[in-house]
Structure 1
Amino acid sequence: MPAQQPLLHDLAIALRAPTVVLSSRDGQIRRTGTQGVLHNDRRVLSEAVLTVDGHEPEPISAGEPTAERGEFVGLLRHLGDEGADPTVWLRRHRTVSATGMGEEIELVSTSARPLECVVELVVAADFAPIELIKDGGDARAVPATTDRDSATWRDQRGLRSVLRAEGAELVSAGDHAVARWRVGLAAAASARLRWEVVVTDEAPLFVPGHAVRLARPEVSTDDRRLTSLLHRSLADLDALLLAEREHPDDVFASAGAPWYLTLFGRDSIWAARLLLPVSVRLAAGTLRTLARAQGTTFDPSTGEAPGKIMHERRRDTTRLGRMSLPALYYGTIDATALWVCLLHDAWRWGMPEAEVRALLPNLRAALRWITDYSDPDGDGFAEYFDESGHGLANQGWKDSGDAVRFANGVIAAPPVALAEVQGYQHEAVLRAADLLTALGEDPGELRAWADRLAHRFRERFWVRAGGDRYPALALDGAKSTVDAVASNMGHLLGTGLLDAAESEDIGARLLGADLAAGFGLRTMSNAAGGYSPLSYHCGSVWPHDTAIVVRGLARAGQSDRAARLGMQLLDAATAFDDRLPELFAGYGMAETATPVPYPASCRPQAWSAASAVVLLETFLGLRVDVPNRTVTVDPPRPSPVGALRVTGLPLAGGTLDVAIDRGGAVTELRLPAGLGG
C-alpha cells in the first residue's frame, strides 16, 4: 500500500509558534504518523516514550487546558497496594514554548508502603521535513551526541535539539538517548522529575510574534458556549502568531498546525480581517508583511506577477506528490483582492492614516494586477491556470484538485473563473475607490470597472435549475457554468456585486437543509453529484467558510439568517472542546448527534479560531467606521444567545462596552471619545 497522509483527529496538540507538539492521547510521542516536536517545519524530536520499570502508564485522562499546555494521567498498577483501587499514578505536565518543550513528571503514591522504581525516557530525532511527514513518509533517526548533562541532535540546515533531564543519568542507545531516574517514594508521597528539549535555529524564516497580543474583552452571556469558544479561540490565535525575523513588530497569524504553521496570503489575510474587532495591529502587520513580498515580475514557475500577493512562504521547496511548490509561491487567485479589502477594512477600524498611506503604492500595484493581469484570456473574469505544471491545479480557497465540479460530479477543466473571486475583486476595487477618495487621491476608473464586472457577472454566472436561482460555482475553460450548488456563493454577500433581490435569493438558498444541515455550512450541497461528507472541499464543513457567510449575511441585512447559521457553528464547537478544527465532516444533525471529525484536519487553525470573533460581532450587530466616527450596534432580534454584555473591546485608542437584553435591545453603550452611534 502506498504511503498515506497521517491522521490528526485523535492526537493531543499543544503549540507556541513556531513550535508544535503532537502526541498520543496518553502523552507518549511515538515514532509514527505526525507525532513529534515540530519547529519551523522540521521534526526536531520524533520520539519521547516514558516508562516506569519498563511499563507504559495506562492512560485514564488527557487534556489541553491552554494552547501551549498538555496534561496526561496514567496508572502504574504494577506498583502500590493490592486491590482494585490504583494507588500509584503518573501525571505529565507538558508546556510548549517557541523554542521547544518541557515536561514535569509527577509520580503520586497513596500506597501504605515505600516504593522504588526506575523511570526511563527514550528520545530520538529525525529532522523530517513537514512535507515528508504529510505524505506519510519516513526518515531515519539522527544519532545523538550524549554527555553527562545533555543529549544533542543536529541537522545540516542549522537546527539543533538539546535534551536536558534534571537528576537523570543520560546514555546513548543507538540513535536514541535515554534519560534514567531512580526514584524512591516514601509511603503516601510524591516525586517530581523534569526534562526539556531546547531548539536553536541558526537562520529562522519566522520568529514568535511577541509584539502583538489579541485583546481579550470580557464577555458574559446567557449562552456560555460563546464565552468558552471566544476564550479558547483567542488563546489559540495568540499561540499561532509569527513575524519575519527582520521585522519582528509586523505580526501575522500563521495558518494552522501542523501542516500550515507559516505565512499564507489568503489564510493570514482572512484571519486578520475576521479579527479586526480584537486587533488592528495584527491587520497592519499582515498587510506590511505581504506587501514586502508583493510580486514585481512575471515568473510562471512561481506564479509571480507584478502587484500579486503571494500564496505561501516556506524555507524550502515543498514537494507533495506531483506538486513542487517553490519556497515563495504565488499560486493564488484571490489573495490580492483580499489584501486590498483588508487594507480598507483596517482603515475603517482605525488603522492610523500614516500607516495606510505608506501602503498606497502597494495598493495601486495590487489594483493593477486585478484590472490588468488577473484575466489572461480577456473574457472579463479573473481566472487561474497552473502554467508551471507542478503547482496548485485550483487556486481559490478550495484548492484541492477535485474541488470545482459540475452538479453531475464532473470536474471542471481549467482555466477556472470562481464566483467568489469576482465578488472579492468587485469589493476590492470599490473599497479602494472609497479609500483613495477619502485620502484625497484620484480613484480613476475604478468604480466604472466594478460596474462592468457586476453587469458581466449577472449575465454569465446565474443558474436556473428547477425552482432554484443561484450563482454558479465557476466558469470552466470552455466558459460553461459550473452549476454545482456550493458555499462559494455565500462569499458574494456584502461585496456589492449583488442587488437586493440576488442577495435574498442566495441567503435563502444557503440556509437550505442540503447546505446548512445543523453544524454549519457544507462546502457543497449533498444533492450534488460530487458530494461526500468526508471530501476535503466537496461536502465537508469549514468553520471559516461558515463564518464568512455569517458575516456576509449580516452585511447584506439578513441578520436573522446570520444568527441561525452562526448558532449552528456554535453548536458544532462544543463537540471539539471549543477548538474549532480546520474542517470537519459534512454529516448533518439528521445523520449524527455530534459532528464527525475530518481525520487529517489541522487544529488550531487561524481562520477557524477567528470564527468565534465573527459570531460575537454578528450577535452584537456591530459595524465600525472610525474615519467617519460612527459605530452601529444593531443586534438580531431576539438575541440568539440571550442577554449579552461585552466590555473592553478595543476601538480607536479606547474601548467599546455594550450590553443587549434577550430581546436584542441595546441597554448600554459606551464609546471612546469622538465616536458616535
Structure 2
Amino acid sequence: MAQDASSANYLHESAYADDRVQILNDCNTFGIFSRSGDIFPGARKAQGIFHEDTRYINHLELRLENLPFILLSSNIKEENEILSVDLTNPKLKLKSGTVVPEETLHVRRSQIVMAEKFHERIELENYGDITHTVKLSILINGDFSDIFEVRGAKRAKRGTLNKPEVRGQNQLLINYTGLDNVMRTTVLTSEIDFTFDKKESILYYDLTLEPQNPVYLNFSIHFIKGEVEKEIKKPKAFHVIKEELMPDIESTKSLFPDIFSSNERFTHWINRSKTDLASLLAETPHGKYPYAGVPWYNTAFGRDGIITALQVLWVAPQVAKDVLKFLAAHQSTIEDAEADAEPGKILHETRGGEMSALNEVPFKKYYGTIDATPLFVMLAGAYYSRTGDLQTIRSIWSNIEAALEWVDKYGDLDGDGFVEYKHKAKNGLTNQGWKDSYDSIFYKDGELAEPPIALCEVQGYVFAAKIQASKMALHLGKSELFLKWKKEARQLKMDFNRAFWDKEMNCYILALDGNKKPCRVKSSNAGQVLYTGIADDSKAKLVAKSMTAEDMYSGWGVRTISSKEARYNPLSYHNGSVWPHDVAMIAAGMARYGCRLEAVKLLTGLFDASHFIQLQRLPELFCGLERREREGPTSYPVACSPQAWAVGAVFMLLEALLQIKIRPEKKEISFFKPILPDYIKFINISGLAVQKFKIDLEITNYEEEEMFSVNWKNQPPDWKLVVIK
C-alpha cells in the first residue's frame, strides 16, 4: 500500500542522525549543522538552514587554503542560542613556500539563528611566531528545496535556480523563483570585502595572521520571501547580536518557574527541557505557539501544541492561553474536502513552503486530525481550572461550542456515540489519530483496519472535553449546556467501557473499525485512556499493570504496541517505538487512578534514557528495543529533536507524581498523596504563577521516615496549602 503524502508518512530518505549534527532554531528558521559548523550537501543529508519550510542554504563549508579544518570541539550553549565550534589547521604549504605546522592556528566559530537570519563570527588566531597570509574560503549554495522534498517527496517539476549575484564587494545573493511565482532569496552580507568564484560558488577572504593577534570576520545571512530590499546593511557586531537576543530568551523563559532538585542530573533535564521548549515558542499574532519540532515539524500543529500546553499548564499557563487563542483563530468555518475541513474542526497543521502553496501536498492549512478538536476543549477547561480566567473562556466560547458541535455532527459518522475518522482529502492522512502512519491501526492478525475508525483514546478525549465543557458552562450560567454535556459524557463512559474493554486482553482494544469489528491490539493508546478519566476504576488498574508488563515496557518507556503483536517492529515509527510524550500521558493517567509506583517507574525510565542522550534532550521517539545493561536507548534515525511534546514530558511526569492542583475557585494549592523517586530528596520551585502572584514551593521527600512535606513562600492572600498524604 502506498504511503500517505502526510507529515508523518513520507519515506525518510534524508537520514541525518548518524551525522552527529548540531541544531539551532528560532521560530520559523532553523539550522542543521555538522559538528564542525559546516553544512554539507548530499541527497541523503538533511543538513541546511531552513526558513518557512524551505532550505535556503544546503552548503556552507569553511576551508583554509582549500583544505578542511580539524575539529577540536563543538557545543551548543546552555541557552540554546549559540553553536560554538573550535577548529585548528592541518599542515599547510602556502604559495610562498612557507609551511604552517598542524595545530598552529586556532579558529573559533560562533553561530546564531535569530529573527529569520543566520549570524556567524569567525575568530582566527595564529599561535606560531611567523606572520602568514592565508586564503580563507566559504563554499556556499542554496537549493531551495521544499521540506517535503528533503524528506523524500519527488516532484515532476521545480522552479528556476538563478545565477548568484554579487553586490559590491561584501554582498552575495542566491535566489530561486518558485513555481508559485514567489522569489526566495538568500542574502549573505559580510563585514569585510570578499571575492567570489561564480563557477565554484566560493567566497574568498585574504587574511593576514600575525602572531598572537586575533582576526575577526562577521557575516550574516538573511532569508527573504518576496522582494529584496535594494540595500541590506552590513552585519552588526556579534556581541550586539548576542545582546539583542538575550532579552527575548529571558522573556520567554520567564513564562516558566525555576525548578531545582537534589539530583543535579534531574535538575539539568528540567532546565534543558525548559530551554528547548522556549526555543520552539514562535511569536504569532495570537501569542507564542509551540512549534512541534525540528526539522520536520517546525510549524504549528494543533494536536502537538495542545498536548504541549497540557504538559506545562501547571508551570506555564500562558502557553495554554496563547495556544487556545491561536487555534480558535484558525478553527475551520467551512467544509473543504481537500483540506479535510468541516465547521468547528481544529487545525492539524499549517505549512508555508512552495509545495503547500501549489497544493502538491495538502498541508497549507490542513484539518485531517480526529483528536485536536476535543483536545482543544479539554485544554480550555483545564486552563480555566488552573487560572480562573473566565474572560479568556468567554472570548473563545463560540469556538468551544463549535468544536463540540463538530464532535456530534461530523465526528460521529454513524451516530453510535463514538467519534470516528475517514479522510476525504486525496493526499490526506489515512490515519488521523496521533499514530498517523498508514499502517498503525490494524487487527489482531496484522491486517490493516477498514475506516471509519474509532480510536480508544479519542473517545476518552471526547469524554473529557464534555466534562470540561459542562464545568465551564456552569460558570458561565449556561445550565442547559451543563446538564446536556454532563449527561452525554456519562453515557459515553458507560458505552465506551462496554464496547472497548476486552476481558481476554485485560485491556482496552486499540479501535473499532467501520463495521464495529474490534482491533484487538494491545497498545499505548489504552494507556492514554487513563489520562482522560473515562476508564472504570477497576479496569484502570489492569491497564496500568498491562502497560508496565515486559511486552509493553522496554525498560525506557512504554512501547506504542506490545512486542507480541503481529505488526510489532521496535524500529518502526509507530508500531513498537517509545514516545516520551506518550509515556508521560500514560504516567499521568496511572497517577490519576492511584497507580503511583507505576508512574514512578515510567519517569525513571525516561530519566535514565536522558543520561545517554546528547544535552539530555529527549527526542521525538526512540526505538523500542529492550533495554540493555550499561547501554542507552537505540536512536530512531530521523526523530525530531528538539520536539515540543518530548521536551515537555518531564513537566507532566513531575506533575503526575506530585499530584499538584492549583484551584483559584477554592484559593487552594493541593498535593494529593504525592510521591517522588528515592533519587530525588527535594524539589524547589521558584516563581510559580498563581493568578497575578508568583510563589515559591519547597517540597521535601523524607523517604526513610515515609514523610512528605511542602512549604511555601509569598503565598497569595487568603490562599491555603493542602497536602493529603
TM-score (norm 2): 0.87
| Matched letter for residue 531 of structure 1 | Y
Contact between 1:4 and 1:136, CA under 8 Å: does it hold in 2?
no
* Structure 1 residue 137: Cα displacement: 5.7
Which residue is equivalent to 1:251? 288
Distance of aligned partners of 1:371 and 1:257 in 2 relative to their CA distance in 1, 3 Å threshold: same
Within-5 A mapping of 1:588-603: 588-590=626-628, 593-603=631-641
* Residue 173 of structure 1 pairs with residue 198 of structure 2: yes
SS of the residue 1:624 aligns to: strand
Which residue is equivalent to 2:235? none
Contact between 1:580 and 1:604, CA under 8 Å: does it hold in 2?
yes
Q: State how far apart, in whole Å, the 1-side matches of 2:664 and 2:227 are.
A: 40
Which residue is equivalent to 1:668? 711
Question: Which stretches of structure 1, 4 residues or more, deviate above 6 A after TM superposition?
Answer: 80-85, 208-211
Task: Pick one of 63, 68, 83 that aligns with 1:70.
Answer: 83
Within-5 A mapping of 1:532-551: 532-551=569-588
* Structure 1 residue 374: Cα displacement: 0.7
Contact between 2:11 and 2:151, CA under 8 Å: does it hold in 1?
no
| Matched letter for residue 550 of structure 2 | A
Distance of aligned partners of 1:628 and 1:611 in 2 relative to their CA distance in 1, 3 Å threshold: same
Contact between 2:509 and 2:519, CA under 8 Å: does it hold in 1?
yes
Distance of aligned partners of 1:242 and 1:621 in 2 relative to their CA distance in 1, 3 Å threshold: same
Which residue is equivalent to 2:207? 183
Contact between 2:52 and 2:353, CA under 8 Å: does it hold in 1?
no
Q: State how far apart, in whole Å, the 2-side matches of 1:497 and 1:84 are.
A: 70
Which residue is equivalent to 1:108? 125
SS of the residue 2:506 aligns to: strand
Q: State how far apart, in whole Å, the 2-side matches of 1:667 and 1:456 are.
A: 41
Task: Pick one of 43, 47, 63 that aligns with 1:51.
Answer: 63
Which residue is equivalent to 1:372? 409
| Matched letter for residue 166 of structure 2 | T
| Matched letter for residue 518 of structure 1 | G
Larger deviation: 667-676 or 490-499? 667-676
Which residue is equivalent to 2:240? none
Q: State how far apart, in whole Å, the 1-side matches of 2:421 and 2:278 are.
A: 34
Contact between 2:255 and 2:318, CA under 8 Å: does it hold in 1?
no
| Matched letter for residue 192 of structure 1 | Y
SS of the residue 1:484 aligns to: coil
SS of the residue 2:636 aligns to: coil
Distance of aligned partners of 1:7 and 1:675 in 2 relative to their CA distance in 1, 3 Å threshold: farther
* Structure 1 residue 444: Cα displacement: 3.9
Q: State how far apart, in whole Å, the 1-side matches of 2:184 and 2:101 are.
A: 48
Task: Pick one of 266, 277, 301 that aligns with 1:264.
Answer: 301
* Structure 1 residue 299: Cα displacement: 2.3
> Could you list the per-position Cα deviations for residues 489-508 of structure 1 after superposition, in whole angstroms to 9, with x for gaps in the alignment?
11111423112111111111
Q: State how far apart, in whole Å, the 2-side matches of 1:349 and 1:213 are.
A: 20
Distance of aligned partners of 1:31 and 1:638 in 2 relative to their CA distance in 1, 3 Å threshold: closer
Task: Pick one of 407, 418, 425 that aligns with 1:381.
Answer: 418
SS of the residue 2:399 aligns to: helix
| Matched letter for residue 676 of structure 1 | K
* Residue 408 of structure 1 pairs with residue 445 of structure 2: yes
> Could you list the per-position Cα deviations for residues 237-259 of structure 1 after superposition, in whole angstroms to 9, with x for gaps in the alignment?
12212244xx2x42211111111
Q: State how far apart, in whole Å, the 2-side matches of 1:214 and 1:405 are.
A: 44
Which residue is equivalent to 1:506? 543
TM-score (norm 1): 0.93
> Could you list the per-position Cα deviations for residues 30-81 of structure 1 after superposition, in whole angstroms to 9, with x for gaps in the alignment?
1222111101111112211110011101223222224232122233121499
Q: State how far apart, in whole Å, the 1-side matches of 2:616 and 2:227 are.
A: 35
Which residue is equivalent to 2:175? 154
Task: Pick one of 34, 41, 54 that aligns with 1:31.
Answer: 41
* Structure 1 residue 174: Cα displacement: 3.2
Task: Pick one of 1, 12, 15 that aligns with 1:7.
Answer: 15
* Structure 1 residue 191: Cα displacement: 2.4
* Structure 1 residue 91: Cα displacement: 2.2
SS of the residue 1:493 aligns to: helix
Q: State how far apart, in whole Å, the 1-side matches of 2:573 and 2:495 are.
A: 31
SS of the residue 1:159 aligns to: strand
> Could you list the per-position Cα deviations for residues 222-244 of structure 1 after superposition, in whole angstroms to 9, with x for gaps in the alignment?
22222111211111212212244
Q: State how far apart, in whole Å, the 2-side matches of 1:203 and 1:498 are.
A: 56
* Structure 1 residue 266: Cα displacement: 0.4
Q: State how far apart, in whole Å, the 1-side matches of 2:248 and 2:122 are.
A: 29
Which residue is equivalent to 1:120? 137
Which residue is equivalent to 2:239? none
Q: State how far apart, in whole Å, the 1-side matches of 2:675 and 2:718 are.
A: 26
* Structure 1 residue 578: Cα displacement: 1.6
Distance of aligned partners of 1:171 and 1:228 in 2 relative to their CA distance in 1, 3 Å threshold: same
Within-5 A mapping of 1:403-482: 403-442=440-479, 443-465=482-504, 468-482=505-519
Which residue is equivalent to 1:242? 282
Distance of aligned partners of 1:144 and 1:317 in 2 relative to their CA distance in 1, 3 Å threshold: closer
* Residue 89 of structure 1 pairs with residue 106 of structure 2: yes
Q: State how far apart, in whole Å, the 2-side matches of 1:414 and 1:592 are.
A: 44
Which residue is equivalent to 2:694? 655
Distance of aligned partners of 1:349 and 1:175 in 2 relative to their CA distance in 1, 3 Å threshold: farther
* Structure 1 residue 453: Cα displacement: 1.2
| Matched letter for residue 46 of structure 1 | N
Which residue is equivalent to 1:194? 218
Which residue is equivalent to 1:390? 427
Contact between 1:283 and 1:342, CA under 8 Å: does it hold in 2?
yes
Q: State how far apart, in whole Å, the 1-side matches of 2:368 and 2:257 are.
A: 37
Q: State how far apart, in whole Å, the 2-side matches of 1:514 and 1:656 are.
A: 43
* Structure 1 residue 136: Cα displacement: 6.1
Which residue is equivalent to 2:661? 623
Q: State how far apart, in whole Å, the 1-side matches of 2:545 and 2:319 are.
A: 34
Distance of aligned partners of 1:409 and 1:144 in 2 relative to their CA distance in 1, 3 Å threshold: same
Q: State how far apart, in whole Å, the 1-side matches of 2:207 and 2:354 are.
A: 47
* Structure 1 residue 429: Cα displacement: 0.4
> Could you list the per-position Cα deviations for residues 472-528 of structure 1 after superposition, in whole angstroms to 9, with x for gaps in the alignment?
011122312111111111111142311211111111111112222221221111121
| Matched letter for residue 538 of structure 1 | N
Q: State how far apart, in whole Å, the 2-side matches of 1:586 and 1:115 are.
A: 54
CA-based RMSD? 2.7
| Percent of paired sites with the same residue | 29
Larger deviation: 18-27 or 111-120? 111-120
Q: State how far apart, in whole Å, the 1-side matches of 2:397 and 2:678 are.
A: 40
Contact between 1:547 and 1:566, CA under 8 Å: does it hold in 2?
yes
Distance of aligned partners of 1:82 and 1:153 in 2 relative to their CA distance in 1, 3 Å threshold: closer
Contact between 1:215 and 1:649, CA under 8 Å: does it hold in 2?
no
* Residue 574 of structure 1 pairs with residue 574 of structure 2: no
Contact between 1:572 and 1:594, CA under 8 Å: does it hold in 2?
yes
* Residue 228 of structure 1 pairs with residue 253 of structure 2: no
* Structure 1 residue 317: Cα displacement: 7.4
* Residue 16 of structure 1 pairs with residue 26 of structure 2: yes
* Structure 1 residue 141: Cα displacement: 4.8
> Could you list the per-position Cα deviations for residues 364-386 of structure 1 after superposition, in whole angstroms to 9, with x for gaps in the alignment?
11111112321112232111111
* Structure 1 residue 158: Cα displacement: 4.5
Contact between 1:154 and 1:161, CA under 8 Å: does it hold in 2?
yes
SS of the residue 1:271 aligns to: helix
Q: State how far apart, in whole Å, the 2-side matches of 1:195 and 1:417 are.
A: 54
Contact between 1:209 and 1:252, CA under 8 Å: does it hold in 2?
no
How many residues matched? 666
| Matched letter for residue 190 of structure 2 | A
Structure 2 unaligned segments of length 5 or more: list them. Answer: 1-9, 229-246
Q: State how far apart, in whole Å, the 2-side matches of 1:104 and 1:410 are.
A: 56
Q: State how far apart, in whole Å, the 1-side matches of 2:598 and 2:498 are.
A: 27
| Matched letter for residue 597 of structure 1 | S
| Matched letter for residue 72 of structure 1 | V
